[in-house]
A and B are shown apart, each in its own frame.
Chain A
Amino acid sequence: MIGTKFSRRALLGSALAAPFIRGAAAQGEPYVLGSVFPQSGPNAEYGPVFTSGVQLALQHIEQDRLLQRPIRYISEDSQALPQQGVIAMTKLVNVDKAHWTFAAFTSVSKAIAPIGDRAKTVMINGGAVGPDLSGLSPYFWNVIPLAHLETRTLLPYLVGQGKKRFALVYVDDPLGDAILKELGEQLPKAGGELVGSFSIPRDAQQFGPVAARVRQVRPDAVYIASFGAQQAQIIKGLRNNGVSQQLCSYSAMNLESIRTLPEANGMTFTVQKVDYAGGDALTRRFAEDYKKAHNREPTVYNANYYNGCRLFGLLAQELEKTNTPVNGDTLRAALLRVRKFPLVGGTGEFDDAGNMMAAIEVVQWNNGSLTKLV
């Protein structure tokens, strides 16, 4: 039941400075973009997924000659841990003087937001969905719909399918706490009921005993709020120990290791709506180039970070037109002035807090492929 986090070196995170793009046409001091993604540890599966979205957008910005100045991209490792994230973000802000940063994971985002806020550096989240990420800082923007939007789509659907009694298995961190609060408030409104909630440590690995407790509350559906490698362990642990009810979750289930897990068959969750094939030219180009580079279909995460990076290109282009210096304040002013941007998945519109609005759909894993339910 434990987990012991052991040799994940608790102190200095990795810091990799890799000059990524230096365009021949672009002149002058480069813009510095940095990311704080998990590149090692149990959530390392996400790092390359997020990074590839950023990298494709950088290529497209370069190809389109969107900007006059070149871009330097720096990837830092957060290990999905707040402390590592703080160290990485401190380096990006103080040493690299980053103009624009990418964050992921609710707990990491909450920890680094004060640093970016103090330095007035824009932080873009395209992966974490904790509802309290909205309005964390004037410079913290979300290009992903947060979990409260996801649950508000999922719960009415499932309740409509006759699932009234919900049990929640949630990881003991800010994301889990947020989902717990959300289910407690939203389920009664949707006509359902939260009959049990089971908190687990982040590094817990055995879920047999938890499954026994879950069965006891006789749920119709079990909501899982975790991320990364643990999700698969929870699903297997529940399914192997007699929990046969409907499993449901949020967008973090959109992961290769879940897709291939036999026990995850029938897992119902929410993602944001992106039409890769029938969408606009930008979306199709993204999907085609992504497939060319990685030999597989892009996921929403790829699209989100592509959008997050493209947003920088569009805003900086605005500022370059008027010879305005590019910094957190001018970027924010430009965001609030323009509001609507052509992005993958259609036009992205931002509210005052810097949250992008998006449509949500309910999907289900069926023998290794996603079926759209609503």
Chain B
Amino acid sequence: MIAYFANLATLVAIFGILAVTLNFMVGYAGIFSVAHAVFFGLGAYAGAQIALTVAPDPLLACGVAALIAGVLSLCLALPALRVRGEYFVAASLGLQMVALTLFSEVKSLTGGIGGLTNIPRPRVFGVEVGVLPLALIALGLLLWAIHAMANGSFGRTLKAIRDAESAAEALGKPVAVAKALAVAFACAGAGVAGALFALHMSFVNVESFTLDQSVLVMAMVIVGGTGTLFGPLVGAVLLLSLPSALSFLTFIPPTEVGSVQQIIYGLAMTLLMVFRPAGLLGDQNKGKSHQ
């Protein structure tokens, strides 16, 4: 059972990273992206290729992954600078769908649907280490960074943009730079999560980076509460442990297990939103946090 929980904890930590970084974009900068899985994927492929071709050094893998995801986040920053609201959601959706096709087709780098297999276990100075401590450290560092930024001048600039972009611009805030930086930071974080994911699973393929996955991460943020520091983490724990918990319901016939789990998962998402629309940790009275 310990191995089982360690596996689950590692996934929760990795998705925790995804959720808190997405929350940084959504909650603080008001950029609603449904393409977070794209940068998760870029990081995973980068990390996997580093581990396979250079060395299974997690620091190197995470660094390269963060760099690649951060640089390519320009694809997302560009529309973010042009449009907002539903338009941006649609743009990120377009990006997600196009990226998915690219992930499937650029087989020399991604392995397509067959994926990259046999990714070696991470080693630091020649010693094999588990992914769980690495992921927890990364998560802690990112939380600390987000906390520091949210309360610093960068955070104030972002919130000003979120709440009234034109006013912020009129006040001379560097709107374009701040937005691009927020997107780059969040996407680099997703890249780190991707590299850790690749090292943990020893296998990556395009199916881990679908629109589904993006929506799952988005759901974690919303369910936990946007703009709160720990809300997304709560969302990650909840949405990841739900299906695992459901799998212990042994009275469901084997052929219906998948569907029943999905139905309960979907229902939980909907009901939570209907009854706690600001998320579990969000301020219910404050209500909506943007526009």
A–B touching in complex (CB under 8 Å): yes
* Docked-complex contact B113 and A82, CB < 8 angstroms: yes
* Docked-complex contact B201 and A94, CB < 8 angstroms: no
Q: Does B230 lie at the interface of the complex (its beta carbon under 8 Å from any beta carbon of A)?
A: no
Most buried by A among B104, B114, B247: B114
Cα(A8)–Cα(B104), bound, Å: 18
* Docked-complex contact A86 and B201, CB < 8 angstroms: yes
Name the one of B112, B115, B205, B258 contacting A79, with C-beta atoms under 8 angstroms: B258
Q: A40-B262, A173-B114 are in contact. Are A9 and B203 (CB under 8 A)?
A: no
B-chain residues with CB within 8 Å of residue A65 when the two chains form the complex: none
In the complex, the chain B residue whose C-beta lies closest to that of A199 is B105
Binds A, one of B165-173, B210-218, B281-289: B210-218
Q: A10-B212, A16-B247, A90-B7 are in contact. Are A174 and B114 (CB under 8 A)?
A: yes
* Docked-complex contact B258 and A41, CB < 8 angstroms: yes
A-chain residues with CB within 8 Å of residue B7 when the two chains form the complex: 90-91, 94
A-chain residues with CB within 8 Å of residue B207 when the two chains form the complex: 5, 10, 81-84
* Docked-complex contact B11 and A11, CB < 8 angstroms: yes
B-chain residues with CB within 8 Å of residue A81 when the two chains form the complex: 207
Interface of B is mostly: helix
* Docked-complex contact B4 and A94, CB < 8 angstroms: yes
A-chain residues with CB within 8 Å of residue B215 when the two chains form the complex: 6
Cα(A1)–Cα(B235), bound, Å: 34
A-chain residues with CB within 8 Å of residue B97 when the two chains form the complex: 2, 4
Binds B, one of A43-51, A150-158, A253-261, A312-320: A43-51
CB proximity of B116 to chain A, nearest CB, Å: 10
Cα(A40)–Cα(B259), bound, Å: 6
In the complex, the chain A residue whose C-beta lies closest to that of B3 is A94
B-chain residues with CB within 8 Å of residue A113 when the two chains form the complex: 117
Q: Does A327 lie at the interface of the complex (its beta carbon under 8 Å from any beta carbon of B)?
A: no
B-chain residues with CB within 8 Å of residue A18 when the two chains form the complex: 250, 254
CB proximity of A146 to chain B, nearest CB, Å: 16
In the complex, the chain A residue whose C-beta lies closest to that of B254 is A75
B-chain residues with CB within 8 Å of residue A86 when the two chains form the complex: 201-203
Cα(A6)–Cα(B93), bound, Å: 13
Cα(A9)–Cα(B247), bound, Å: 14
Q: A40-B259, A75-B254 are in contact. Are A14 and B243 (CB under 8 A)?
A: yes
A-chain residues with CB within 8 Å of residue B11 when the two chains form the complex: 11-12
Name the one of B4, B208, B266 contacting A10, with C-beta atoms under 8 angstroms: B208
A-chain residues with CB within 8 Å of residue B101 when the two chains form the complex: 201
> How many interface residues does chain A have, given as a range?
35 or more
Name the one of B3, B205, B255 contacting A44, with C-beta atoms under 8 angstroms: B255
CB proximity of B19 to chain A, nearest CB, Å: 13
Name the one of A12, A94, A110 contacting B240, with C-beta atoms under 8 angstroms: A12
Q: Does B271 lie at the interface of the complex (its beta carbon under 8 Å from any beta carbon of A)?
A: no
In the complex, the chain B residue whose C-beta lies closest to that of A114 is B118
* Docked-complex contact B113 and A174, CB < 8 angstroms: yes
A-chain residues with CB within 8 Å of residue B265 when the two chains form the complex: 9
A-chain residues with CB within 8 Å of residue B255 when the two chains form the complex: 39-40, 44, 47-48, 51
* Docked-complex contact A9 and B210, CB < 8 angstroms: no
In the complex, the chain A residue whose C-beta lies closest to that of B249 is A16
Q: Does A15 lie at the interface of the complex (its beta carbon under 8 Å from any beta carbon of B)?
A: yes
Q: Does B257 lie at the interface of the complex (its beta carbon under 8 Å from any beta carbon of A)?
A: yes
CB proximity of A85 to chain B, nearest CB, Å: 9
Cα(A40)–Cα(B3), bound, Å: 25
A-chain residues with CB within 8 Å of residue B246 when the two chains form the complex: 14
CB proximity of B16 to chain A, nearest CB, Å: 13
CB proximity of A313 to chain B, nearest CB, Å: 21
Q: A39-B257, A173-B114 are in contact. Are A114 and B202 (CB under 8 A)?
A: yes
Q: Does B1 lie at the interface of the complex (its beta carbon under 8 Å from any beta carbon of A)?
A: yes
Cα(A63)–Cα(B265), bound, Å: 41
Q: Does B270 lie at the interface of the complex (its beta carbon under 8 Å from any beta carbon of A)?
A: no
In the complex, the chain A residue whose C-beta lies closest to that of B116 is A111
* Docked-complex contact B247 and A114, CB < 8 angstroms: no
CB proximity of A87 to chain B, nearest CB, Å: 8
* Docked-complex contact A82 and B258, CB < 8 angstroms: no
Cα(A44)–Cα(B260), bound, Å: 14
* Subset of 7 A-B contacts with CB under 8 Å: A11-B243, A44-B258, A83-B208, A86-B203, A95-B4, A114-B117, A177-B112
